[in-house]
Amino acid sequence: MIVEDLEFHNIDIVSHHKGVEGVLLERVPETVGKHLSKAGQLMMICPSGSEIRFVSDTYPVRVTLSVDKIADVIGEGEGHAEAHVFFGTFQSRQRFIIHREKTAVDIVMPHENFMTMAQQISKNSPFSPCVCRIRLWGRTMGVPIRFHHVKSKGCIRPPRPDELPKRTYLAYGSSVTQGAYASGPHLSYTSQAGCRLGADVINLGISCSAYCEPEMADYIAERKDWDFATLALSVNMVDRFSPDEFLERVRYMVRRIAESDSKRPVFCITIKPYYGDFLEGQRPDLYRNLLRQAVKEASLENLFLIEGPELMPDIAGGLGPDLIHLGDLGMVQIGENLAKKLRPILKAYDLLS
């Protein structure tokens, strides 16, 4: 999406509200969001994995943002957002805290000779260093953000296709997919896997609410802007949905998305290790088996199964203290191992640069 010559990546719609300054950044349109749970609707206006991108012929560039009052509803009334600045794949030292009041993000060039050297070093990188990336983040799953305006003394434009990765990876799943508790946007497992595969990332993680709604399945299937997808299905549904309900929803989602285009591989990930594996009365293996069944029944050549427990062999090193979310090491483990499992299949589909 392009607004004021900026590209809003992983944002499907910006919403104006009467009497409120700026536009609210949303990852899915209302036509999809209205079918999600209340918690799911709130999570989809948290811009996890979202970026504001542009190319400028001069710096500094000022982008003004604010945290929306909906943060109060989410329970993040004292919360703030973060903006991490990258130039292509180069991580800048600039980080900004976005508050409820309008906050100026003043981006400067790292140093005088940066761009000349960066262009020589990164000739084979998926991102051109000319592309400034404001990567939005939050202390858990993030908080809703409003964009106000951009100011520069020079010319600003959206990135060209040749300045961006040639392939796009779409990820659906729970809070772990959304990136909860990672220290920064680049440390979510989706970003880690995308980086290793040279792919851009569309993050449709949805904390506490990855319920495999058919409307979400239809939306993902109908999007034309991704080349391969992972579906982490889904710890949020264990015991909240009966096994029959889980199987019905998962069957529809995996088949609908995989059938949308046989040239796009779809990878279903069983539930990763968490506290449920160690408590009596929890049934994660039952739901893992049901996902295996759904993939087998679909019998589609572009539909693949990945075992979640294999992605994080160091369970103690990967889990956070709530024993379900991940620390940075867990995110890196999953991102690295996921990329290893995807690479040979993507190569067979001619989807690796």
3-state secondary structure 76-101: CCCCCEEEEEEECCEEEEEEEEECCC
Kindly state whether residues 303 and 324 are assigned to the same domain: yes
Q: What is the pLDDT of residue 74?
A: 61
Task: Report residue 127 as tokens.
Answer: 């991102």
* CATH classification of the domain holding 257: 3.40.50.1110
Which of 4-18, 62-76, 308-322 bottoms out in mean pLDDT, i.e. has the lowest? Answer: 62-76
- Looking at 163, 197, 219, which one is the last position of a domain? 163
Q: Using alpha carbons only, what angle is made at residue 171 by residues 167 and 177, rounded to the nearest 5 degrees? A: 135
Kindly state whether residues 153 and 179 are assigned to the same domain: no
Question: Does residue 139 carry a pLDDT above 70?
Answer: no
- Looking at 163, 193, 208, which one is the last position of a domain? 163
Give per-residue pLDDT as tens, 163-186.
999 999 999 999 999 999 999 999
Q: What is the pLDDT of residue 141?
A: 67
**Pair 52, 185: CB distance under 8 Å:** no
Please indicate, yes or no, if residue 96 is contained in any of the structural domains: yes
Question: Does residue 73 carry a pLDDT above 70?
Answer: no
pLDDT band at 270; cut points 50, 70, 90: very high
Question: Does residue 76 carry a pLDDT above 80?
Answer: no
Measured distance CA(282)–CA(116) in Å, rounded: 56
Kindly state whether residues 250 and 114 are assigned to the same domain: no
- Looking at 133, 163, 193, which one is the last position of a domain? 163
Give per-residue pLDDT as tens, 216-259.
999 999 999 999 999 999 999 998 999 999 999 999 999 999 99
What type of residue sits at position 342?
Answer: L
Measured distance CA(26)–CA(223) in Å, rounded: 16
Q: What is the DSSP pairing of strand 145-152 with strand 51-56?
A: unpaired
Question: Does residue 188 carry a pLDDT above 60?
Answer: yes
Kindly state whether residues 222 and 334 are assigned to the same domain: yes
Kindly state whether residues 218 and 295 are assigned to the same domain: yes
Mean pLDDT score, 141-148: 88
Q: What is the pLDDT of residue 109?
A: 94
Kindly state whether residues 198 and 305 are assigned to the same domain: yes
Please indicate, yes or no, if residue 353 is contained in any of the structural domains: no
Q: What is the pLDDT of residue 150?
A: 97
Question: Does residue 77 carry a pLDDT above 50?
Answer: no
Mean pLDDT score, 103-116: 94
* CATH classification of the domain holding 23: 2.60.120.260
Please indicate, yes or no, if residue 126 is contained in any of the structural domains: yes
Helix, strand, coil distribution of the chain in percent, nearest 5: 35, 25, 40
Residue 38: CB atoms within 10 A of its CB come to: 9
Kindly state whether residues 179 and 158 are assigned to the same domain: no
Measured distance CA(259)–CA(3) in Å, rounded: 33
Kindly state whether residues 65 and 115 are assigned to the same domain: yes
Q: What is the pLDDT of residue 258?
A: 98
Kindly state whether residues 200 and 134 are assigned to the same domain: no
Mean pLDDT score, 113-127: 93
Which of 52-56, 58-62, 75-79, 162-166 bottoms out in mean pLDDT, i.e. has the lowest? Answer: 75-79
Kindly state whether residues 159 and 172 are assigned to the same domain: no
Kindly state whether residues 10 and 159 are assigned to the same domain: yes
Please indicate, yes or no, if residue 66 is contained in any of the structural domains: yes
Question: Does residue 140 carry a pLDDT above 80?
Answer: no
Supply the range of the domain harboring residue 289.
167-348
Mean pLDDT score, 64-88: 82
Kindly state whether residues 156 and 40 are assigned to the same domain: yes
Q: What percent of the chain has pLDDT over 90?
A: 90
The answer for 203, left when phi > 0, alpha when psi is -120 to 50, beta otherwise, is beta
* Block residue for tokens 């779409």: 170
Question: Does residue 45 carry a pLDDT above 60?
Answer: yes
Question: Does residue 75 carry a pLDDT above 80?
Answer: no
Counting the structural domains of the chain, the total is 2
